[in-house]
Every structure is written in structure tokens, then in C-alpha cells.
């Protein structure tokens, strides 16, 4: 029984119970580079289905990740990968 009448399957690709705030993760950036970081915030409670959002831009992401370079990024589960990150000598 779903007492909230919410279809949680819509954001299934954005939610993952395997990660949590404080976890060290590997993030794949748009240019394909993989960087290490630490999850600092979980926005799962703020995610809405695309139809409920009312726009197709500035979609919220699941995780706030502080990269080891000092940059804060917002990503979804699909942006988190297992494996080694590239060494981070300096921030971009």
C-alpha cells in the first residue's frame, strides 16, 4: 500500500542505497576524467520526476560530492563508478 500516492519508480536511475554521506567515491566528469571525492550531501528527498518538475532544465541531482581537487559537484548514481581515479595534482 502506498499511502503517499507517489510513483517512486520514475527516479529509479537517480537513487541508490549503496552510497551514503561520508563515502569516498569516484566521479566521472563530462570529459570522461574520473576523480575521487567524498559525498557531502544526499538530495534524494528533493528529487522529482521530470513531469513533476515543470521544466526540462536545471534538473536536481542526487549527490553533492566534494572532489579531492576542492571542487563541489552535483551528480547522479550514473556518474559514480567503481575503480581508481586519476591522480589530482591541481584543480582545474
Task: Please classify residue 78 by burial: count the beta carbons closer than 10 Å to its beta carbon, then call 0-12 exposed, 13-18 middle and 19+ buried.
Answer: exposed
C-alpha to C-alpha distance for 79 and 14, rounded to whole angstroms? 10
Give me the mean pLDDT over the 68-80 stretch: 93
Residue 84, pLDDT score: 58
**Chain segment 16-51, per-residue pLDDT in tens:** 458 899 999 999 988 999 999 999 999 888 777 767
Closest to 32 (Cα-Cα) out of 77, 71, 79, 70? 79
Q: Which residue has the higher pLDDT, 21 or 57?
A: 21
- Please state the length of the chain: 92
Q: Which residues contact 28 (CB under 8 A, 6 or more apart)?
A: 34, 79, 80, 81
Return the pLDDT at 60.
77
Amino acid at each position: 500500500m502506498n499511502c503517499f500516492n507517489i510513483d517512486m519508480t520514475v527516479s529509479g536511475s537517480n537513487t541508490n542505497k549503496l552510497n551514503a554521506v561520508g563515502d569516498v567515491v569516484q566521479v566521472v566528469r563530462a570529459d570522461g576524467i574520473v576523480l575521487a571525492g567524498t559525498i557531502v550531501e544526499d538530495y534524494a528527498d528533493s528529487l522529482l520526476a521530470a513531469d513533476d518538475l515543470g521544466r526540462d532544465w536545471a534538473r536536481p541531482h542526487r549527490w553533492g560530492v566534494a572532489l579531492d581537487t576542492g571542487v563541489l559537484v552535483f551528480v547522479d548514481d550514473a556518474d559514480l563508478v567503481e575503480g581508481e581515479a586519476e591522480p589530482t595534482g591541481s584543480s582545474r
